[in-house]
Structure 1
C-alpha cells in the first residue's frame, strides 16, 4: 500500500442524518451473519463463531 494519497475524483459529501438514528435490531444482526463462509470483519472473528454463541 502506498503512503501517498491516491489521485482521483473527489466524492461529494452525503447529507447528514436528520433525527435519531434507529437502533440495530437482533434480526438485523442475525441477517448480517446468517450466511456461512463469509469473510470475517476487522476483528477477524468468523460469523460461524457468533452463530454458535447464540
Structure 2
C-alpha cells in the first residue's frame, strides 16, 4: 500500500512508537528550574480563573 498511498509508507516508519512504553523523565528539568508538577485540581482552578 505504501507504493500507492504515501501516508501509509510514512506511518510504517512510526510504528516503533507503539510497540513499547513511552517513558518521560522530568527529573533534570525539575532539579534545574526548581519547578515540579502541579496537582490537577489546582491547575483546573487556575485555568478557569484565567479564562474569565
Fold-level match, TM-score > 0.5?
A: no
TM-score when normalising by structure 1 = 0.24
Larger radius of gyration: 2
Instruction: Pick the structure with more helix per residue.
Output: 2
TM-score when normalising by structure 2 = 0.24
